[in-house]
Structure 1
Amino acid sequence: MAQATTTDRTTPAADDRFDRPVLAKFEIRRGELADAALATLGDLGYARTSLREIAQKSDFSHGVLHYYFRDKAELITFCVRRYKEGCVSRYDQIVAESATAPDLATAFAEGLVATLREDTAMHRLWYDLRCQAMFETDLAETVRDLDRQLENMILRVLERYAELARAECVLSPAGAYAVFDGTFENALHRHHHDSVQAAELLRSEIPLLLAALIRGD
């Protein structure tokens, strides 16, 4: 796995001489650097961003960035993984707290609309990274892993919705993920290009899609 190889080469996690407090401090610092880099990454995208470019647009030197991240591939995958894994836990909370199928549909739609509006740059970076992974092997396994996590998250939402509606899913996990991911990516494109209807259309489409993907007894 490319990500694991990168970690072995650049972090103290692979060296038994470092104790847990040192490792924890190292990871905290990586998180701080990643957060500082997100604005530049989201604005320029994968291909046009280098560690030097990020350093020029942040308060951190190129040397500091290069100490904590071997290259931009490691930095960007770290950023996207950090964000996407947070997304997954957010929607799991929605699943856990929804008592009826309509409640779940509404909360899920609102969550997607909120992240569409608030995290536009992060989502643009994710889709950019996913396209680049078809050409760069260093990115491929991280992207596959995140896609699996997102697919499983969508499945949990859909299965819980079907359970609350006393129905069953009519698509495979991969098919359901493709439906929602494609709908969200389309909304992201339109939102990025200043479509004022993009968010509202997404809000109205999500409950309809959930209902269309289940079948009652």
Structure 2
Amino acid sequence: MTDVANRSGDETRQVDRFDQRRAQLARSALVTLSDLGYARTSLREIAQNSEFSHGVLHYYFRDKVELITYCVKQYKTECVTRYDRIVETAETAEDLRHAFGSAMAATLREDARLHRLWYDLRNQSLFEKVFRADVLDIDETLELMIWRIVDRYADLLGKPLDLDRSTVYALFDGLFQQGLLRYLAGRDGAARHLQDSVERVLARIFTT
């Protein structure tokens, strides 16, 4: 019985080490992927721009498709936790509205290249079937994240919302993608404009 438990513990530790290594490789790969995008990046090029060899990357990821989807999933999971903290800590509707707008503007300024990679992957899924299941999974995660924000805002206001979840997500995702394009184009005030738009739209959808 002890031998079985020891083997099980060793296998668990091996899986944990494997997952930790994949996460480490993904963080390194994100730099190159977010700079060059999907189409212009190969595993060999990622290896050349990191401390890991091409063989090591191939050991942990079957191909570029698996690597890029893993990278984006990992980053978007981290994003979700930031917005969930807003839901947990906001005490008034005004606090939540300002915190939401501020968070959207901050991530635009700080992580524009990483968000660009996400939209690149989502666009690729329109042409390459291999991406679609993962993209839909990530998209649903983000949709739920936005819905938790809006649902909490409704609770704090004490008002119902006559819009479905996918429509609400489309509104804020569209604002963010538009803001990202403006920011990457060097438009002055792009982040501030996004923050104002997010706060204004969140307030307006409850005025009807």
Q: Flag whether TM exceeds 0.5 (same fold).
A: yes
SS in 1 for 2:146: helix
1:173 matched residue in structure 2: 165
In structure 2, do the counterparts of structure 1 residues 40 and 104 end up closer, same or farther at CA, with 3 Å as the change threshold? same
2:195 matched residue in structure 1: 203
**For 1:72-91, what per-residue CA distance to the aligned partner results, in whole angstroms no more than 9, with x for missing partners?**
11000000000101111211
CA distance in 1, matches of 2:161, 2:41: 41
Q: State how 1:35-46 maps to structure 2 within 5 Å.
A: 35-46=27-38
The alignment status of 1:185 with 2:145, answered yes or no, reads no
**For 1:92-119, what per-residue CA distance to the aligned partner results, in whole angstroms no more than 9, with x for missing partners?**
1101100001100011111111110111
User: Greater shift after overlay, 16-25 or 70-79?
Assistant: 16-25
Q: State how 1:88-99 maps to structure 2 within 5 Å.
A: 88-99=80-91
Equivalent of residue 77 in structure 1, options 69, 75, 79: 69
- Structure 1 outlier segments of 4+, above 4 Å: none
The amino acid across from 1:93 in the alignment is: R
Identical pairs, percent: 50
Q: State how 1:17-166 maps to structure 2 within 5 Å.
A: 19-166=11-158
Give the number of equivalent residue pairs: 201
Does the aligned pair in 2 maintain the 1:34–1:78 contact within 8 Å?
A: yes
TM-score (norm 2): 0.93
**For 1:139-182, what per-residue CA distance to the aligned partner results, in whole angstroms no more than 9, with x for missing partners?**
11110011111111111111111111111112110100000000
CA distance in 2, matches of 1:18, 1:40: 34
**For 1:18-41, what per-residue CA distance to the aligned partner results, in whole angstroms no more than 9, with x for missing partners?**
711000000111111111111110
Give 5+ residue unaligned stretches, structure 2: 1-7
In structure 2, do the counterparts of structure 1 residues 18 and 66 end up closer, same or farther at CA, with 3 Å as the change threshold? farther
Q: Give the root-mean-square deviation of aligned CA atoms.
A: 1.4
SS in 2 for 1:47: coil
